[in-house]
Homo-oligomer: A and B are copies of this chain.
Amino acid sequence: MNGAEFLIHTAVKAGIEVCFANPGTTEMPLVNALDSVPGMRAVLGLFEGVCTGAADGYARMAGKPAMTLLHLGPGFGNGVANLHNARRAKTPMLNVVGEHASWHLPFDPLLAMDIEALAGSVSAWYRTIKSPDTLGRDTVDAVAAALNGGIATLIAPNDFQWTEISDTGIGFPEKNKLPVDEVLVGQAVDLLLKAGKCALILGGQALSDRGLMTAACIQSKIDCDLFYDTFPARLEQGAGYPDIHRIPYLPEMALETLKPYDAVICIGTRVPVAFFGYPGLPSQFVHDDQKKLVIAPSGGAAMDALSLIARVVDGPDVPDPEILSILKRPDMPAGKLDGTKAGSILAAIQPENAIVVEEAITNSLAYHAVINGCPKFTLLSLTGGSIGQGPASATGAAIACPDRPIIDFQADGSAMYTIQSLWTQARENLNVTTLICSNRSYDILKMEMARSGNLAPGANAQRMTDLSGIDWVKLGESQGVASVSVNTCEGMAQELEKALSEKGPHLIELALG
């Protein structure tokens, strides 16, 4: 067994079964091992940002890491932006990056660069294999790091991949289980019982089906309100779950939203931080006179902490049905389409069990306000603010959940960042429907420009926000995705129903007024 085969074998043994890849010459033994070792499905992306974003979406849905296979520093560099999103989502991932042969690297061949510097910027764990003798141990450590919930990046020199290794009997550690901090749980219970009105801000596993139902059990006993981070990695949502509100994006609104609460308890997340700093506004959304408590911000023990709180406050085993959302789709709007109406139509139509990837930016505000009444579904969002996450992670989510409908509710400017994702969706015949919110503009920047005091942008500034000139139907079709453009509510409803009723990928341009 050569090093490459051992690496793939170890990953497969750990339950990793999909590799999102764009390999090159330095990864060739690994490419060969993808066939000689059974159990790994290789999915090609035509740009590495597709691969890392897909691995993120896959892991959020599968609950376990995918592997990526990337070509040297430049290939990893192309994946950095979506790795940044994955890092913020606390997504487990195993990146394997080829490096030049160990004896060739000192000659500084043209593709050589400092891969570790790039890897370190986004990875919870990274290492370059220094010798075939340590390849076994390094591989096992990398896989263990990925299993334990972080981004692990293993840099594998080409010659070590093709070297036969003897040390193939290394076991690998179990997934760690983080302990609950009972002191913090006690403090949370104290706040819930004595502090007055409490806001529970949930993240990580606390936004899972079990997490939300446990939070509802707490609510059944104690009057408190539930919130989720503005950009949750994964949120279960819909009728049958308790009402849970999004923390607004703009600091003025977020501060106002959280103002009524005497205490803010964060479970599986941190105290919410403004997306950007603005003059005269605080960085955090909690006021000085509010009590605050943070439990398991890295996500690990959030579910157990929530369960323990429910038990200590003596909540019921099943929530009071009164506090659970009832099925209530928004009314179907009519006439010319805009972003608000698009969100309502999506919420009115999306099927039970859908996975909605939400990177609609300015067009998502209305949508978040009405999703409590949808049939149960899963929401994935842009966790790190690095645009181009949507098309890629929708691709990965579809690989993880082939039997669920995937809807990528997507801003046009952001979609252009990883537009190559459409090709993989077509190649793999994935059930992804991409809804392009086509306002032909970086609208969020126009808003931020106005907030910065520039109310009459000059020629250069105007050109920085204007995206006109993209034909989305041709762009989708050029990569093999059935595509259509609509500019009315009726058109969107009809085409969305149609896309969801057919197998394979679809793109619908929502030409917004």
Contact = CB atoms under 8 A, between A and B. Distances in A.
Contacts of A471: 477-480
26 contacts: A29-B452, A35-B457, A42-B461, A49-B78, A74-B81, A77-B77, A78-B78, A78-B388, A84-B113, A101-B276, A107-B284, A110-B275, A110-B385, A111-B385, A113-B122, A114-B120, A117-B117, A158-B276, A158-B277, A159-B279, A162-B452, A416-B420, A419-B419, A419-B420, A427-B469, A474-B478
A461 B117 contact: no
Most B CB contacts (10 A, CB to CB) among A231, A388, A461, A464 go to: A464
A419 B117 CA distance: 27
A315 B304 CA distance: 83
Contacts of A35: 457-461
A131 interface: no
Contact of A273 (B107, B120, B459, B475): B107
A467 B480 CA distance: 12
Contacts of A110: 88, 231, 273, 275, 383-385
A417 B416 CA distance: 12
A158 B275 CA distance: 13
A303 to B, nearest CB: 23
B478 A275 contact: no
Contacts of A499: none
Interface string A460-501: 110110110111111101111000000000000000000000
Interface string A379-412: 0000111101000000000000000000000000
A176 interface: no
A124 interface: no
B111 A23 contact: no
Contacts of A114: 120-121
A477 to B, nearest CB: 5
B101 A277 contact: yes
Contacts of A467: 46
A104 interface: yes
Contacts of A383: 110
A273 B479 contact: no
A385 B74 contact: yes
B84 A81 contact: no
A501 to B, nearest CB: 23
Given A29-B452, A474-B474, A23 B276 contact: no
B111 A117 contact: no
Contacts of A420: 416, 419
When all copies of this chain in the complex are counted, the total is 2
A106 B274 CA distance: 12
A111 B473 CA distance: 31
A121 B122 contact: no
Contact of A460 (B29, B42, B278): B42
Nearest to A476: B478
A82 to B, nearest CB: 9
A111 B85 CA distance: 9
B113 A449 contact: no
A283 interface: yes
A28 B448 contact: yes
B74 A463 contact: no
Given A88-B110, A460-B35, A470 B276 contact: no
A244 interface: no
B416 A47 contact: yes
A472 B479 CA distance: 9
B28 A449 contact: yes
A117 B121 contact: yes
A134 interface: no
A212 interface: no
A249 to B, nearest CB: 11
A132 interface: no
A238 interface: no
A87 B108 CA distance: 13
Nearest to A452: B28
Contacts of A231: 110
A163 to B, nearest CB: 10
A385 B110 CA distance: 6
